[in-house]
Structure 1
Amino acid sequence: MTEKILGLIPVDWRFELTSLPYVRKILKSRWMPFLPIVLNLFVFTVILMAGYVGGVSAGNYNFAVMFVWIVWWLLLMMVMVPFFSRIWCMVCPLPVFGEWIQRLGFMKVRNKLFGLNKKWPKSLKNMWLVNFLFLATTYTSGFLTTRPIATFILLMSVIISSVVLMVVFEKRNFCKYIGCPVGGFLGLYSNMAVTEIRAKDPQICKDHKHKDCVIGNEKGHACPWMILPFDIGRNTYCGMCLECFKTCPYDNMAINLRPPATDLLVDKNRGLDEAWKAFIMLGIAIFFFLVMQGNMGFLKDWANAKTTEGYLTFVALHSIFNLLLIPGVFFVFVYASRTLGNKEIPLKKLFTNFSYTLVPLGLIAWIAFSFGLLFPSSSYVLHVLSDPFAWGWDLFGTAKFPWTPFLTGVMPYFQIGTLLFGLVLSLDIGFKISKQTFQKRDEAVRGFIPIAAFLTAVTIFLIWLFTG
């Protein structure tokens, strides 16, 4: 019997978007994604200029702060990741300078890349490095959201390090394993997306011995993300670069619509690195709310480094909460699951598998958190659009538009509804994972009770935190 997501949509249901001729034609063109990247490059040039010019001025009236931490972040969490997987990686302008240097050009196909082309160490082909990099970046959240120069420094650091590391290491190792602060959670949360890139007919790929998508040809580059496009099991490491659409001689690659969260049910390549990414992302959503939207003024002072002692306390608490406390509490519930379900199941396997139940809840928690940015703060965007460098411009007649929160009265209902949906989806995915793990249905039911209790308790806590 075919499993269904939320009891409604078969897990294996797909609709091929690239069956529409104009969609496939666009994706096969070498202008795609070059043009969106160039457009984004222009936007980020303005962001960098605004960040540099803005210095330490008020962040809510700065183009860099508003567009990176309000507009971009909201689009990323509320639209791009849940609906379009890693589409941001497709159009991200930050690593393109390194990639253009590798290819010694902008659009021409050149599969012999410039640089040292060193392999990334096998022991580091996971999310651990980007986990710690992202966590370290969040230590500066108090600066990034209030001081434009901090956003400038962060973005320039990513650009410069990408150029250096992409000259040393082959292809997109920088984005995949090394230096992109958001690459880890984009990879993990892309498993929730309702779109995917997959081979249409795996048998065609199996019969085709010359793997153009892997080694490249005159029409396109070898996969920059160093995956096997004909054997993508999950969205995690597919950067949606579209090169496989260009290189495939059989037009056998497709972009499909699918039910949400289906990749979380792929019982392959699950790991503790991704488990900890789930813990970190959930923990940061909670901590960010306390710092940015909560009423604990002392936390804001600590995050903004009003005192050295306070800032170090913030870093320590932030680290312990995300790296130890949440995983530790979750471990207790997993141990109870093993006790109730089947004591023969390895504890590590249970811990790893059940950690993926936090992915739907984590992404939904970030969406609920983002409502707290969207409704109260989005009116600032109108001001900075007209006066991006605070030079007294009024390009679109909105420079004097006052701060105007909207729909804040109904915001809690959006957050509650979103979090409850996240709980239902997490419970649905979680029970399916439980059945995969325990094999016997009665064991799966008993074993899932503690996990369901944990997910429910976290949701109740988030509702209280966000709306209380």
Structure 2
Amino acid sequence: MLRSRWPQFILRALILAGFIFTILSGFLGSQVGSHNFAIIFVWIAWWSALKLFFIPLGGRTWCSICPIPLPGEWLQNKGILRSRGPQTRPGKRWPRLWRNAWLPVFGFVLVGWFGAIILTAPRVTAFVLLGLFLLATMLSLIYERRAFCRHVCPVGGFIGLYARLAPPVISVNEPSLCALHTKKTCYEVCPWEQYPPALKTSANCGLCLECLRACPYNNISLRLRPWGAELPLAAKMGLDDVFLALTMLTTAAIDTVIFLGPWGILKSVAYTIGSPAWWIFAASFLLLTLVIVPAFYTLVVWVAERIRKERFSFKRSLVYYGPILLPIGLTSWMAFTLAFASTKSSYLLPVLSDPLGWGWNLLGLTNHLPTGQTSSFSLALQTLLLAGGAMSATETARKLSRSTRESIPLLAFIATYTWIMLWLLLG
């Protein structure tokens, strides 16, 4: 089933059709967010499924069926079911300056700035999806392979950051066999520009399975590993990844304040883009995301480095301790999503019955009144998620540290952030 392209193609084609319908519903349907398919199924169904299931259990599994790069890849490969090969359109190399996670960081900062309106205004959601779709297609016609997925997509950056923790991984059965195979077919067909025998992290592997299909010796497998297997070292993590991880920590807390907190005025301010109050919000958001939280982490690393007997360059130290950010970041997003989805999921069935808000009643559920609320079970599960993330990060800090004293500032950072999220989510 994995070797055949048909199951994957059918899934991607169906999701592409749903993607196009979502864009149309955003433009043509009711502009009341709770009555529009685009808002409910993108930001409640898909976004929740991505953070609760796809990423923690499947890593980059969503990337393997994502419809956004599909038309561009068809044009690039000159065929629908073709992989990369001699017929592939030649493209430019992606600029070396941007072969990192800085563009996804910038994209997520923009989403954080305008998140309130993106998550509530159907037409804005449609413009965002259409913009990503057109950008991915355009870049596929200019640059080789999946430049958009690897270096631009903010969702791809988010997924890749936490894919390091997930079980699925592409691996080589016999490395010695690869050394004898000089053609390197797996690298030639890979749209993610990865060479499986040298693959040290799942962050940049899109699980497209083209390498598995192309290997003439059946020497590549899709395997499962223990959760968090790349910790504590988080192979190939760079300074850009650390900054992206810090951005994810900050935006998880800010989104919790805006969308779940008792301060309704903050959501109103975030929604009134361009007003004096919004500029204060935007400046505060930037200050927290780009200055205060990174500065706090930098201070923590500086203290840990002073204690550590074996000294690194300070830049290397920032990266060295970076893996502690991954478990608390992912579980914080999961806890936030669980709380958000539990209060909004009751909108799904009415919107299925009337996806455009035109007064249809296809399933007889249009008049079903949403009654979503946070249950005691949901609160307990959020607590367990945050506690589990803190425990995993603590164990990672312990393994990275040479002594208990060295780990104390790292544990203080973990405890402080976890306590803030617990307070924001549970009160």
TM-score range, shorter chain: over 0.9
Comparing 281-290 and 266-275, the one that deviates more = 266-275
* Pair 1:157 & 2:131 matched: yes
Question: What are the equivalent positions in structure 2 for 1:86-165 lying under 5 Å apart?
Answer: 86-109=60-83, 111-112=85-86, 115=89, 117-165=91-139
Q: How does 1:220-299 map to 2 (within 5 A)?
A: 222-266=189-233, 268-299=235-266
Post-superposition offset of 1:341: 2.1
Kindly report which structure 2 residues correspond to 1:126-205, keeping only aligned pairs within 5 A, or say none. 126-178=100-152, 180-205=153-178
Residue 335 of structure 1 deviates from its aligned partner by 1.4
Tell me the distance in 2 between the aligned counterparts of 1:114 and 1:86: 24
2:299 to 328, 332, 340: 332
- Scaled by the length of structure 1, what TM-score is found? 0.88
1:325-364 to structure 2, matched below 5 A, reads 325-342=292-309, 344-364=311-331
* Alignment map for 1:53-64 (pairs within 5 Å): 53-54=28-29, 57-64=31-38
Match of 2:10 among 21, 31, 35: 35
CA distance in 2, matches of 1:200, 1:372: 42
Work out the CA distance in 2 between the residues paired with 1:306 and 1:401.
33
Residue 18 (structure 1) aligns with? none
Q: CA deviation at 1:164?
A: 1.1
- C-alpha distance in structure 1 between counterparts of 2:111 and 2:86, whole Å: 34
Assess if the C-alpha contact under 8 Å between 1:342 and 1:447 holds in 2.
Answer: no
1:340 CA drift (Å): 2.0
Q: State yes or no: 1:390 paired with 2:357.
A: yes
Compute the displacement of 1:66 (Å). Answer: 0.6
Structure 2 residue 381 is matched with structure 1 residue 414: yes
Mean CA deviation greater in 358-367 or 402-411:
402-411
- Counterpart of 2:416, as a letter, is A
Counterpart secondary structure, 2:164: helix
How much does 1:172 deviate? 0.3
User: How far apart, CA to CA, are the structure 1 residues paired with 2:8 and 2:305?
Assistant: 47
Shift of residue 109 of structure 1? 4.2
- 1:198 alignment partner, SS class: strand
The whole-number CA distance in structure 2 between the counterparts of 1:113 and 1:295 is 57
Which has the higher mean CA deviation after the structures are superposed, 266-275 or 332-341?
266-275
User: What secondary structure sits across from 2:6 in the alignment?
Assistant: coil
Q: Does 1:453 align with 2:412?
A: yes
1:456 to 1:377, Cα distance in 2 relative to 1, 3 A: same
Q: Which amino acid aligns with 2:261?
A: G
Q: CA deviation at 1:409?
A: 3.4
When normalised by structure 2's length, the TM-score is 0.96
CA deviations over 1:40-63 (Å, ceiling 9, x no partner): 0121122112111136x2212211
Residue aligning to 1:15: none
Structure 2 unmatched ranges of 5 or more: none
2:345 alignment counterpart: 378
Q: State the Cα distance separating 1:343 from its structure 2 match.
A: 6.5
Q: CA deviation at 1:252?
A: 1.3
Q: Percent identity?
A: 33
Q: For residues 201 and 362 of structure 1, what CA distance do their matches in structure 2 show?
A: 35
For the residues of structure 2 that align with 1:372 and 1:313, how far apart are their CA atoms?
A: 27
| 2:43 counterpart of 1:69 | yes
Match of 2:23 in 1: 48
| SS across alignment from 2:321 | helix
- Work out whether residues 245 and 329 of structure 2, in 8 Å CA contact, stay in contact via their aligned partners in 1: yes
For residue 219 of structure 1, what is the aligned residue in structure 2? none
Gaps of 5+ in 1: 1-25, 216-221, 435-442
**Alpha-carbon deviation of 1:149?**
0.3
Aligned-partner SS, 1:264: coil
Q: Which amino acid aligns with 2:319?
A: T
Alpha-carbon shift at residue 129 of structure 1 (Å): 1.3
Give, in angstroms, the shift of residue 295 of structure 1: 1.8
SS of alignment partner, residue 420 of structure 2: helix
Cα distance in 2 for residues equivalent to 1:109 and 1:451 = 45
Q: SS at 1:27's partner residue?
A: coil
**Residues 407-416 or 255-264, more deviating:** 407-416
Inter-partner Cα distance in structure 1 for 2:383 and 2:235: 33
RMSD over aligned Cα, in angstroms? Answer: 1.6
CA contact (8 A) 1:52 1:148 kept: yes
Of the structure 1 ranges 180-189 and 280-289, higher mean CA displacement relative to structure 2 is found in: 180-189
* Counterpart secondary structure, 1:395: coil
How big is each residue's C-alpha offset from its partner over 1:321-346, in whole Å with a ceiling of 9 and x where there is no partner? Answer: 11111110111111111122227332
* Contact preservation (8 Å) 1:278, 1:356: no
Q: Distance in 1 between matches of 2:14 and 2:363?
A: 20
How far did residue 283 of structure 1 move? 0.4
- 1:210 partner amino acid: K
After TM superposition, give the deviation of residue 173 of structure 1 in Å. Answer: 0.9
Corresponding residue pairs, total: 427
Deviation, structure 1 residue 265: 3.2
| Matches for 1:311-322 after TM superposition, within 5 Å | 311-322=278-289
Counterpart residue number, 1:428: 395
Q: Moved runs in structure 1, 4+ residues, more than 4 A?
A: 113-116
